Amino acid sequence: MCGIAGIVSTRDSQESRYEAVRRMCAAMDHRGPDGGGVEHRGAATLGTQRLAIFDLANGQQPMATPDGRYTIVFNGAIYNFRELRSELGGLGWGFRTNCDTEVLLAAFAQWKEACLQRLRGMFAFAVWDGAENSLFVARGPFGIKPLYFHWRSDGSLFFASEIGALLASRGMPAEIEPTSVGAYLAHLSVPAPETIYRRIHCLRPGRMAIWRDGQLVIRRYFSLGAGATSGKGAARGSYPDFVGQLREHLDDSVRAHSIADVPVGAFLSGGIDSSAIVALLRQHVPGRLSTFTLTFDEAEFSEQDSARRISGLFGTEHHEHRLTGMEVARSMPRILSSMDQPTGDGINTFFVSQLASQHGTKVVLSGLGGDEIFGGYPSFRHIPAMARLLPYWQSLPAIVRRALVGMLKLRPTVRSRKLTDFLTNARDLHELASLQRMVFAESARLTLLEPGTREVVRRQGPFHPMLDDFAFELHQSGPLRSVCSWELRTYLSDVLLADGDVFSMANSIELRTPYVDSRLIRWLWGQPEEYVFSPGHYKRALSDAMNDLLPAATRDQTKVGFLLPFAVWMHGPLREFLEDSFSKPSLDRCPWLDARAVKDLWQDFLLSEDRRNWSRVWSLAVLIGFVGSRKRQ
């Protein structure tokens, strides 16, 4: 696990590239406090900051092949590196270390881009080819690890694990892109490949790119929809056979994700996702196993009893931290400075990662992805049902539809506004899924933008920018698998995994996600939909697979979610932060927002007894606070 950075340029001198990459690495020292390095290779200058997980005494980067042709910088973990090492050894490769970086380098030298299909893990890496004077970069299939880049008009390429590192190079301006603000208000993040900054991009999951002679070519190497069917009859055997195989695959994924030369722990909320990981991890970590959870004074948000029950059952060394709104308020400057982009989520990961770091754990497994691959969200029920009803809705006379939508608009609830968006804009399941995760309803989103930005965003439309790509990729997939893919490719990738990476690495923690595993997900993709997803029975497949290890109270409990009591704290200890965010000086720094509309939203929240709107107010405050924190730096 590392932070990586580099510049490839035929225009800039080695000295200027070195200083720029050195600054980039210094900006990511939290990602790699165990060492680092900067080296020149032809037109490339590559750098890293290392968090040592495998072969602690070796594995320094940048790392070159024995003949000096290929040089790699790598962020992530390859869980099957020992299998690949054995295979490569049979092909004549010798190894000087016991780390995954050297194996990945040899795999690329042996198989070039075809190595990507062999990798099991999370990764973002770059390889300089000295013979062809080219740079190859790739990001993992699901985007667990990030890779940002800026391609200058003179053909120079800057890349890094963090946007802050790119900006530290001083090779580009830090200009907020107004249309990205509109995207953030819709999706709680800026969907890749765009970012909140103009001309800074994010390599999308499952993509690779090659820089050669000042040209950058990006291609897709991974597709969830490739060869997918509706799932009917896709696997042999009965449902009990499927459950048994699922247990084997889950156990295999947790085993693979537990490999490390440092202590491994787990986040434990007490829900079925994290509890299943702890139960399986216990079988692969026979010694000390630490678990970590947050508790709150607000009892309705705290799952400490469930977490303690699982910890006691599996004999973990359990650590709790009582988080208060006052502590969050005091930590907001550091939280904002940790962000690459504004996000209305993820603060829980910041504090539970801090807890793990304080207790000396470097690698932590998380239950992220369980809801997405096993149908744990309401979208798995609502989207297919609405897709079936859409033809009947569309068959109504236009005048009737307009009248019904007009009646909905008179009801100022979040649910009625979202339903209005569905009925006004969506024509099929993919368009419904594209609108499902919108934070602000379209009318509210446009109102929050100043007129010039509003018009541009209006022309772009309400749908997710990757709608056409996803619809094409999934055209042979069944409805539940399509919803699964939408959740994986949008909310999980752009929000949960992005936040997980930023806030865990801010505390020098390697966060691993056994549910977001290419081998597990590829296998699940070939199983019948009715086996994997049971919309009427919360995560039935996972529950049945863990029947012998987890108590019924854990397997049968309803979803709570790893939420913080923001709705309460925003009226108390977080009020000062919010008042500052919505003040005139703060709004003056955000000219693409309509200040009056923002203030009206804040006042409505203060006066309303319905606190369900807290996430919209909070996400907007974080956006404004993020911009302010950058202005003050």
Return the exposure string of 415-441: e unless at least 16 CB atoms fall within 10 Å of the residue's CB, then b. eebbbbbbbbebeebbbbbbbbbbbbb
- Reported as a single tens digit per residue, the pLDDT across 375-388 is 999 999 999 999 99
Contact at 8 Å (CB) between 30 and 1? Answer: no
d(CA 227, CA 404): 41
Q: In a 10 Å sphere around its CB, with 0-12 CB exposed, 13-18 middle and 19+ buried, how is residue 55 labelled?
A: middle
The whole-number pLDDT of residue 557 equals: 75
The whole-number pLDDT of residue 226 equals: 55
* Predicted TM-score (pTM) of this structure: 0.94
Pairing of strands 63-64, 70-78: antiparallel
| The domain defined by 225-324+338-550 carries CATH number 3.40.50.620 | yes
The whole-number pLDDT of residue 409 equals: 82
Residue positions annotated with a catalytic role: 2
Low-confidence ranges of the chain (pLDDT < 70): 1, 225-236, 299-302, 558-563, 631-633
d(CA 334, CA 339): 9
Contact at 8 Å (CB) between 328 and 625? Answer: no
The whole-number pLDDT of residue 291 equals: 97
d(CA 8, CA 159): 9
DSSP helix/strand/coil, 131: coil
Domain map (residue ranges) of the chain:
2-220, 225-324+338-550, 566-632
- Reported as a single tens digit per residue, the pLDDT across 450-507 is 999 999 999 999 999 999 999 998 888 899 999 999 999 999 999 999 999 999 999 9
**Vertex 535 angle, CA 531 and 541, to 5°:** 35
Peptide bond into 263 cis (omega under 30): no
Q: In a 10 Å sphere around its CB, with 0-12 CB exposed, 13-18 middle and 19+ buried, how is residue 175 labelled?
A: exposed
d(CA 246, CA 515): 12
Bridge partners (DSSP) listed for residue 124: 75, 139
d(CA 1, CA 85): 19
Contact at 8 Å (CB) between 421 and 442? Answer: yes
* Distance, CA of 146 to chain centre: 8
Angle subtended by helix axes 414-425 and 398-409, to nearest 10: 160
With CA atoms as reference, report the closest residue to 49 among 88, 1, 115: 1
Which region holds residue 271: left if phi is over 0, alpha if psi is between -120 and 50, else beta? beta
**In the Cβ-directed half-sphere of 471, how many Cα atoms lie within 13 Å?**
14
With CA atoms as reference, report the closest residue to 280 among 258, 260, 251: 251
The whole-number pLDDT of residue 559 equals: 61
| The domain defined by 2-220 carries CATH number 3.60.20.10 | yes
